[in-house]
Structures are given as structure tokens and as C-alpha cells.
Amino acid sequence: MAGKETNNKLVANNKKAFHDYFIDEKYECGIELCGTEVKSVRMGKCSIKEAFVRIDNGEVFVYGMHISPYEKGNIFNKDPLRIRKLLLHKSEITKLFSKIREKGFTLVPLEVYFKNGKVKVLIGLARGKKLYDKREDIAKKDVRRANEREFKIKNL
């Protein structure tokens, strides 16, 4: 989804989520930020490696998302690890809530990016991978790299 159009600017992505989970569905949502946080995100100082998403009282929140304090922000800076609200339609929230009540499903943030000047978060409905699934993915990746290496050598 993100990065395919020319007006999207990727700020942070969560490679660990793709390694640890199977991503079934993706949802684009807005995020509620303060002014200095937006400036910090614009500078690329955002991390979602340890972040996760929860639904509380019909609202979606992201926990553990780190946005570094803006250097010129002074007293207006907020806590870097504070809980931030995600903006989704009510129908999407109820659909997600019913899905995550099933065993094995969770919500994880996948990407943070700018779309038409607004900060967007791509969240994924995910199922956890077992150890053998992870090993299988690593083996596939190694085979792909070896094939690319051979192709590169042949074409030189």
C-alpha cells in the first residue's frame, strides 16, 4: 500500500512484524499527534519496532511507538513513548475488534508514512508464526539471494 504512489514518504517500517507474523489484512489509519511530534516525524525520528496496537472502549491506540523529542520544541515536547490514538472508522474498529477476539490474531503497526502531508500508520491484522515458519522464510530468502548472486555473476 504505502510507497506505491509518488506522494507517499516512508518514515519508519517494521521489518520485525513481517518476520514474526503472517499479515492477513492491512488498514491505513491516521494518528493523533502534537505539533512537535509531527516535526520530529518529518525529520524521520520515529520507531515502531517494539510497538503494538490495542482496542480499548471502541478506540484504537498504539503503544510503544517512539517519537524522539523535537530539538527546538522546549516545553511543548511530549513523552516519546506516550500512548497515541489511531483514527479509524467505527465500522473498521468493530470489524478489527471481532477479529482480534479470535485466538491467534493481533494488531501490529507495519509502516509510518506521510500521505498528502498527513501522517498515516499502516496497521496489519496478524497471526503469529511458529518457529518452523520462520525457518522456512529464512531458507526461501537465502535461496532467492543465491539465485540473484548467480544471475549477477552470469551477466557480468
pLDDT for 76: 65
Q: Cell for 106?
A: 493481533
Alpha-carbon span 79 to 33, nearest angstrom? 11
Closest among 80, 87, 16, 19 to 50, alpha carbons compared: 16
Domain 9-129 CATH class label:
mainly beta
Answer for the pair 114, 42: CB distance below 8 angstroms, yes or no.
Answer: yes
The pLDDT value recorded for residue 154 is: 74
Distance, in Å, from the CA atom of 58 to the CA atom of 44, rounded to the nearest integer, reads: 30
Determine the pLDDT at residue 3. 45
What was the pLDDT predicted at 156? 67
Q: Is the full-model pTM beyond 0.85?
A: no
Domain ranges of the chain: 9-129
Q: What is the pLDDT along the chain (156 residues), one digit of tens a residue?
A: 554 545 788 888 888 888 788 888 888 999 888 778 888 888 888 888 888 888 888 888 989 888 888 777 676 677 677 888 888 899 888 888 888 887 778 888 998 898 888 888 898 888 877 777 778 778 888 888 888 888 877 776
Grid coordinates 468493530 are at which residue?
94
127: CB partners within 8 A, 6+ apart: 21, 22, 24, 104, 105, 106
Note the pLDDT of residue 44. 82
